[in-house]
Amino acid sequence: MAAATEETFEFKTEIKELMHLIVHTLYTHKEIFLRELLSNASDALSKVQFEALTNPDIYDKDQVLDVKLSIDEKKKLLTIEDTGVGMTREQLISQIGTIAHSGTKRFMKELSENEKKDEKDKKSLPDLIGQFGVGFYSAFMVADKVSIETKSMEREAPAVAWESDGTGSYVVKESERRKRGTSITLHLKKEAKEFLEESRIKSLVEQYSNYLPFPVLLGEEEVNKHEALWRKSKKDLKEEDYNEFYKQVSTDWQEPLHYEHFSGDAPVQFSSVLYIPKRAPMEYYGQDPHEHGLKLYVKRVFIQDDCKALLPRFLRFLRGVVESEDLPLNVSRESIQNDANITKINKVLTKKFLSALKKMSTKKEELYLDFWKQFGRFIKEGVHSETTYKDKLLPLVRFYTSKHTDNPTGSFADYIANKKEDQKAVYYAVGEKVEQLRRSPHLELFQRNDIEVILLTEPMDDMIFNQIGTHEDMKLINVESGDLELPEDIKKEVEEVEVSDDLTRLKDKVKEVLSDHVNEVRFSKALSDSPCKFYNASGGISHNVQKLMFNMDGMSGFPLKRDLELNPEHSYVKALAGRLDNDSVNDQIKMLFHMASLLEGTLEDPQELAGLVLPLLR
């Protein structure tokens, strides 16, 4: 093997793009490079601390665990040196030269998508960087050359050096380093002179890295507190302390939205600080390649960075720390999953957190609304996936309704308090946008009778409401259902009505012409202004859920028919009935079908509709 020789490697294209971007786009907050590098150093120290618990054979076992910062003003060098796990040659190439995880590509993709977003939805670049962990490369914001020397904890692995100017390539060669760990030297750019000042470095460590679990030394002086915030008493801590600690545990750039400091003694001892970030993680179909868990400490020793077993999956957006005295130090990643005490902590923590949310929802409504807008879908996911917590979660659910149209501030409790006296069901409508739903023909009957309707706009909502079934003895019913279980005095408004012979002939004709698209056709008085709407004659699973299920089953080609309700009082319907012998009536009946889909904001057969409309435009 040519380990001893000097070798030059090209950065992968995506890394080049990434570095270009970091160097040229990130004008503000360049100082975060220090937080990123210190966080890597601390991770490396935690890893070696954990390894040492079970492996007596690691290199340099008795080395003090710390980070040393040193400044060479003359040569304009800033060095960050840790005594952590270090890296072998292969690790150095695979982890630094390429990005080990698939994060970069996603980062770049997210970045270009982010550019297209409305200003208010845009994430800041440091947010994105924090989230995707492109940490190390941030060094090139302030340095025109970066050198790494590293010696792995693996006894046999020779020390290696790495150097790059961050433009296209890097060099790997042998290193003289004997001490275990990694030393990263930044050859600072002219405009980054400020990072040669001790006072500047000191204040940055205090600001961003105060609660790192290992000492950070500048010369002889320890510049961080490195104490366990979660073990302190709440009354000795200020909001700033919590916020500062958050930035360190989360590598988030922003302040958290909220935090909770909990501890418990029975049935198992633990203390923890949980944070709700300001923004929800970027997930694709409920999956996030960077999904975090909580940091786990046992008897003051760091065990795991992202322990997912500490919370149910629907709370995966939470960040923070848990420490327990009641776990063995040698818990492995595998055994954590099944550890009875971890399960107990999970239960207590979840219960405490959900009651804290409940309290927030009544005492701090504005904050709760912010929370809901970002994380509501996780709570709804919990309703769907964790039956144990369903009763605790349902009161937390918020939605738009026909009476709460500006913000999702409606709740089940509120809905039930406002229901009509003899109303036995909770009604909901599902669509893409609140504005569309409000004007949907499905709502005409309800608005006329002053019955509130919940307006749902996320694809899974329908599925979730379908699954909830009933709440507080009230059945949840989709407004498109053919069996609405309405209060007695309103019932007659949706019953099929007797119509004239012309209209009956129209109905038969509609059935015949639309036989590919439509099952049942009926006349009722449910509609006030619209000529027609779809309904779900069987009253079973809604059209939307059927579509979701069919797509999931890969049966998207299957024809999903609908049922059509006509307004006997509408002028268009009446006119159609009067010209059934006309040549063009078939096309006009087809238009009726498309009208129903346009009015509810869906498009069942866009090509056919285009074919019908085009001749009219000539």
Q: How far is the CB of 430 from ligand ADP (least distance, A)?
A: 39
CB distance 205 to 158 below 8 Å: no
The reply to whether 78 sits near ligand ADP by the rule CB under 6 A is no
Q: Which of 63, 95, 519, 602 binds ligand ADP (CB under 6 A)?
A: 95
Nearer to ligand ADP, 204 or 506 (CB): 204
Q: How far is the CB of 196 from ligand ADP (least distance, A)?
A: 21
Nearer to ligand ADP, 133 or 264 (CB): 133
Nearer to ligand ADP, 162 or 523 (CB): 162
The reply to whether 82 sits near ligand ADP by the rule CB under 6 A is yes
Distance from first CA to last CA of the chain, Å, rounded?
A: 76
The reply to whether 44 sits near ligand ADP by the rule CB under 6 A is yes
Q: Which of 104, 182, 272, 423 binds ligand ADP (CB under 6 A)?
A: 182
Q: Which of 23, 38, 41, 146 binds ligand ADP (CB under 6 A)?
A: 41
The reply to whether 125 sits near ligand ADP by the rule CB under 6 A is no
Fill in the amino acid letter for 272: S
Sort residue 320 into left (φ over 0), alpha (ψ -120 to 50) or beta.
left
State the DSSP string of 235-266.
GG--HHHHHHHHHHHH--SSPPSEEEEEEE-S
Nearer to ligand ADP, 136 or 550 (CB): 136
Q: Give the residue at shortest CB distance from ligand ADP.
A: 133
Q: Which of 15, 32, 65, 96 binds ligand ADP (CB under 6 A)?
A: 96
User: What's the chain's length in residues?
Assistant: 618
- Which one of the spans 39-47, 191-199, 580-588, 589-597 is the region binding ligand ADP (CB under 6 A)? 39-47
Sort residue 219 into left (φ over 0), alpha (ψ -120 to 50) or beta.
left
CA torsion, points 385, 390, 393, 394, in degrees to nearest 10?
Answer: 110
- What does DSSP say about strands 143-151 and 160-164: parallel, antiparallel, or unpaired? antiparallel
Instruction: Provide φ and ψ at 58, rounded to 5°.
Output: -70, 150
What distance lies between CA 107 and its chain's CA centroid? 15
H-assigned helices in 179-225: 198-208
The reply to whether 63 sits near ligand ADP by the rule CB under 6 A is no
Site for ligand ADP in 301-320 (CB under 6 A): none
The reply to whether 136 sits near ligand ADP by the rule CB under 6 A is yes
Task: Pick the closest to residue 281 from 242, 240, 241, 314 (CA basis).
Answer: 314
What is the 3 state secondary structure string of 110-156? HHHHHHHCCHHHCCCHHHHHHHHCCHHHHHHHCEEEEEEEEECCCCC
The reply to whether 40 sits near ligand ADP by the rule CB under 6 A is yes
Look-up of token digits 């970066």: 146
Nearer to ligand ADP, 10 or 472 (CB): 10
The CA distance from 11 to 20, in Å, is 12
- Which one of the spans 82-90, 171-179, 408-416, 608-616 is the region binding ligand ADP (CB under 6 A)? 82-90
- Which one of the spans 77-85, 164-172, 291-299, 525-533 is the region binding ligand ADP (CB under 6 A)? 77-85
- Which one of the spans 40-48, 382-390, 395-403, 577-585 is the region binding ligand ADP (CB under 6 A)? 40-48
Task: Pick the closest to residue 285 from 42, 548, 466 (CA basis).
Answer: 548
Instruction: List interacting residues with ligand ADP (CB under 6 A).
Output: 36, 40-41, 44, 82, 84-87, 95-96, 133-136, 182
